[in-house]
A and B are shown apart, each in its own frame.
Chain A
Amino acid sequence: GAGVSQSPSNKVTEKGKDVELRCDPISGHTALYWYRQSLGQGLEFLIYFQGNSAPDKSGLPSDRFSAERTGGSVSTLTIQRTQQEDSAVYLCASSLVISGNTIYFGEGSWLTVV
């Protein structure tokens, strides 16, 4: 597609349930990022995929969070046993893997845990 596509755009879930957030990057972009942004805050790095290399998971806040990227394209971020503090906008971005390259963001998935 023309841009980074994320779904769902909004998700309300009950505490304790699992959620999956999907990201479809720009075609040809081999790097994919997930960030989390709480209300009025900056972006918190979660995980980074580049091609077939092992992902950089250093930003995942707990083992309830996981992500995969199938076929070097679509990525799914999974949050298990959601907690209220998981409520945030989850932003996906992609880029060409060139040093100093711009990354392009999707519109985000707004997660509310009640």
Chain B
Amino acid sequence: SQQGEEDPQALSIQEGENATMNCSYKTSINNLQWYRQNSGRGLVHLILIRSNEREKHSGRLRVTLDTSKKSSSLLITASRAADTASYFCATDAGAQKLVFGQGTRLTINP
């Protein structure tokens, strides 16, 4: 069964707006990672947040982690057309493999 579940499945916003995507998971984790995928090909790592961290920033990206609710959010500020992609969360539960969610398809309209 999937560990991570992203919400919403699809999101369409105007350029310049902020985009927020959520991820929920089921078991205890060591860390949670967010990846981006363009055009159904290879995924690119965006950011990793450890289980003892609550918030992390990288450029226009802000990730939060709430281990009590088993959830994470990815915020992209001041969105650009080039941010159009699918975004996946992946959880590391210590089994040396990442388990991915179904992803959020983000569309930024010019």
Contacts and interface: CB of A to CB of B under 8 A. Distances in A.
Interface residues of B, number: 26
B98 interface: yes
Interface in A6-29: none
A42 B100 contact: yes
Interface residues of A, number: 26
Interface stretch (A60-68, A74-82, A102-110): A102-110
Contacts of A107: 41-42
A105 B43 contact: yes
Contacts of B95: 56
Contacts of B88: 42-43
Contact of A100 (B2, B31, B44): B31
Nearest to B32: A100
B102 interface: yes
Nearest to B49: A100
Contacts of A56: 95-97
A31 B101 CA distance: 21
Nearest to A9: B41
A102 B100 contact: no
Given A43-B88, A91-B42, A103 B96 contact: no
A88 to B, nearest CB: 10
B50 interface: yes
Contact of A99 (B92, B97, B99): B92
Contacts of B102: 41-42
Contacts of B48: 100, 102
A35 to B, nearest CB: 7
Interface of B: 2, 30-31, 33, 35, 40-45, 48, 50, 88, 90, 92, 94-103
12 contacts: A37-B40, A41-B102, A41-B103, A42-B101, A43-B43, A48-B96, A50-B96, A99-B30, A99-B31, A100-B30, A100-B50, A105-B43
Interface of A: 4, 31, 33, 35, 37, 39, 41-43, 45, 48, 50, 56, 89, 91, 93, 97, 99-100, 102-108
